[in-house]
Amino acid sequence: MTIHQNLIAGEWTGSSAVENINPSDTNEVVGLYAEASAEDTKAAIAAAKAAFPAWSRSGIWERHVILKKAGDEIMARKDEIGALLAREEGKILPEAIGETIRAAQIFEFFAGEALRLAGEVIPSVRPNIGVEITREPLGVIGIITPWNFPIAIPAWKIAPALCYGNTVVFKPAELVPGCSWAIVDILHRAGLPKGVLNLVMGKGSIVGQTMLDSPDLSGITFTGSTGTGKRVAAASLEHNRKFQLEMGGKNPMVVLDDADLNVAVEAAANSGFFSTGQRCTASSRLIVTEGIHDKFVAALTEKLQTLVVDNALKPTTNIGPVVDARQLKTDTDYIEIGKQEGAKLAFGGEIIKRETPGFFLQPTLFTEATNQMRISREEIFGPVASVIRVKDYDEALATANDTPFGLSAGIATTSLKHATHFKRNAEAGMVMVNLPTAGVDFHVPFGGRKGSSYGPREQGKYAAEFYTTVKTAYTLA
Ligand code: ADP
């Protein structure tokens, strides 16, 4: 098997490699991927630093052409790259192809944004002086990504970084190097000058930590766990460096008595269990008012019975495997915790066997949960959700907001009054009315509040806030 190497200063390098294993079939090695050392990482940072002056002054047309070419190639290869994604991460093929299309759309969007860079010219408060406000690239951006969106998250960080004239050192998650390698290869062939985009695959404790400790990164954008996010923050403050964090969620989905039951059940099933519950926007707290509670639980349980858990590549599968053995243990540990805390296991909870050896877990629903239980407060990141019974809308909103996180919040209701009030008062970066808490557009801001996020929003034109720095210039005319 050939080794997919790291890209450092425009050269593919690296001979030590690790196996990328398919969680739907642990006998299958998806590919061999190089493991970077601390020295490789330092070389990548040096290459990005050396490439910055020229790239930061490159023409916007050059950036447009490269980003557009990359978007076009990803779109043309969506089935092949989508299959690679499904094999390395375990989400089902339609979701994996959908994510690949989204990555292509993100590159197309930022190809357009490169041509729309603009500043402001305004009069000074002093006579005969003009003021110009412009955006400039930050410098070298460190990009550290998680395993749950192996192509979309790298795309929504790499595309704006390059669009605004930064150079990049990119470290994907250990479990999913395949899609990251594919997009770096595409961008490299699309004509990026050497050193502008460097790929260093490998361990967080080595590659990631070397990035955090480097004085030469002007910004780090991170998506992952709260614990690692805190390390990124502490190390970035030390180096007076800009940083952006997207971390966990414990997203509420409120269901009111007046909800359309089908809409509520579809939204809850999608939010809680699709993509194996492994989305930071997934909902694991279903907050349901008394009048609809029993009907909702019965209908959701009925729906869960119809969902097929199996190999991600099978066309009949609705839910693929959990990503690896460690995450499966976390999920089953939380299922035990939920039982011990006194929640009622209404559906699922068991590891299941399929034709291929993989990490298959039934979608799991608890009822009679309280918002104070650990299963309601801590992010599980698996196909596990709980129903919390509340008296009315006011208690539902208070419960929804009673969490350390604030990424996404959903409500199912036919009341304009409650929908409007919830949109204004939910303490979350994204609010969904009669829609799942997960599943967002690529051209508008993404991000949260409280313990979920730190720094400017990602995606859409708001991405410029992180990837540029503002300059104010005064001229005596
Ligand atoms: P998860 O537990 O979901 O894998 P992590 O926060 O550990 O979440 O991982 C997210 C990303 O952060 C991965 O690319 C991982 O390799 C990286 N990472 C882990 N530890 C560190 C660290 N000490 N410094 C920098 N990056 C790290």
CB 408 within 8 A of CB 429: yes
Say yes or no to pLDDT of 69 above 90: yes
Atom of ligand 1 nearest to the CA of 223: 10
Residues 152 and 300 in one domain: no
Residues 262 and 241 in one domain: no
Query: How large is the average pLDDT for residues 404-414?
Result: 98
Say yes or no to pLDDT of 216 above 90: yes
316 phi, psi to nearest 5 deg: -85, -5
CB 421 within 8 A of CB 282: no
In a domain, 440, yes or no: no
Q: Sign of torsion, CA 38 40 44 49? A: positive
CA 2 to chain CA centroid, nearest Å: 29
pLDDT band with cut points at 50, 70 and 90 for residue 165: very high
pTM of the model: 0.98
Question: If 0-12 CB within 10 Å is exposed, 13-18 middle and 19+ buried, where does residue 337 land?
Answer: middle
CB 379 within 8 A of CB 348: no
Neighbours of 397 (CB within 10 A): 22
In a domain, 438, yes or no: no
Say yes or no to pLDDT of 477 above 90: no
* Cα 245 to Cα 232: distance, rounded to the nearest angstrom: 8
Report how far apart, in Å, the C-alpha atoms of 439 and of each of 95, 96, 267, 315, 409 are. 11, 13, 11, 21, 12
* Cα 185 to Cα 168: distance, rounded to the nearest angstrom: 14
CB 135 within 8 A of CB 465: no
Query: How large is the average pLDDT for residues 434-449?
Result: 97
Cα-to-centroid distance, 322 and ligand 1 (Å): 18
Task: Give the residue whose CA is nearest to atom 17 of ligand 1.
Answer: 204
Task: Give the residue whose CA is nearest to atom 2 of ligand 1.
Answer: 225
Of 270, 275, 268, 271, nearest to 249 by C-alpha is: 271
Atom of ligand 1 nearest to the CA of 175: 4
Indicate whether residue 174 lines ligand 1 (CB < 6 A): yes
Residues 217 and 277 in one domain: no
Give the CATH number of the domain where residue 260 resides.
Answer: 3.40.309.10
Residue with tokens 């990803």: 74
DSSP string, 3-26: EEPEEETTEEE---EEEEEETTEE
Residues 240 and 383 in one domain: no
Atom of ligand 1 nearest to the CA of 148: 3
Helices assigned H by DSSP within 274-430: 290-306, 325-341, 374-377, 393-401, 416-425
Residues 168 and 21 in one domain: yes
Residues 6 or more apart from 317 whose CB is under 8 A from it?
Answer: 92, 308, 309, 310, 311
Residues 58 and 160 in one domain: yes
Residues 145 and 242 in one domain: yes
CA 178 to chain CA centroid, nearest Å: 16
Give the DSSP letter of residue 307: P
To 10 degrees, the CA torsion angle through 348, 354, 356, 357? 50
Residues 307 and 373 in one domain: yes
In a domain, 26, yes or no: yes
Query: How large is the average pLDDT for residues 302-312?
Result: 98
pLDDT digits (tens, 9 = 90+) for 124-142: 999 999 999 999 999 999 9
Query: What is residue 39's three-state secondary structure?
Result: helix
pLDDT digits (tens, 9 = 90+) for 196-214: 999 999 999 999 999 999 9
Query: What is residue 281's three-state secondary structure?
Result: coil
Average pLDDT over the chain, rounded to an integer: 98
Cα-to-centroid distance, 225 and ligand 1 (Å): 7
Residues 113 and 82 in one domain: yes
In a domain, 439, yes or no: no
**What are the beta bridge partners of residue 344?**
367
Say how many domains are in the chain.
2
pLDDT band with cut points at 50, 70 and 90 for residue 300: very high
Instruction: Return the exposure string of 34-46: e unless at least 16 CB atoms fall within 10 Å of the residue's CB, then b.
Output: bbbbbebbbbbbb
> By residue range, what is the domain housing residue 83?
3-247+452-476
pLDDT digits (tens, 9 = 90+) for 341-392: 999 999 999 999 999 999 999 999 999 999 999 999 999 999 999 999 999 9
CB 318 within 8 A of CB 307: yes
In a domain, 147, yes or no: yes
Residues 164 and 181 in one domain: yes
Atom of ligand 1 nearest to the CA of 209: 24
Indicate whether residue 409 lines ligand 1 (CB < 6 A): no
In a domain, 66, yes or no: yes
* Cα 49 to Cα 271: distance, rounded to the nearest angstrom: 41
Residues 299 and 173 in one domain: no
Pocket test for ligand 1, best of 228, 247, 328 (most atoms within 8 A of CB): 228
Residues 238 and 265 in one domain: no
Give the CATH number of the domain where residue 182 resides.
Answer: 3.40.605.10
pLDDT digits (tens, 9 = 90+) for 315-341: 999 999 999 999 999 999 999 999 999
In a domain, 444, yes or no: no
In a domain, 342, yes or no: yes
- The reply to whether 368 belongs to the active site is no
Cα-to-centroid distance, 45 and ligand 1 (Å): 18
73, 246, 458, 465: the catalytic one is 246
- DSSP H or E stretch at residue 168: strand 167-171
Say yes or no to pLDDT of 1 above 90: no
Say yes or no to pLDDT of 284 above 90: yes
DSSP string, 195-231: TSEEE--S-IIIIIHHHHH-TT-SEEEEES-HHHHHH
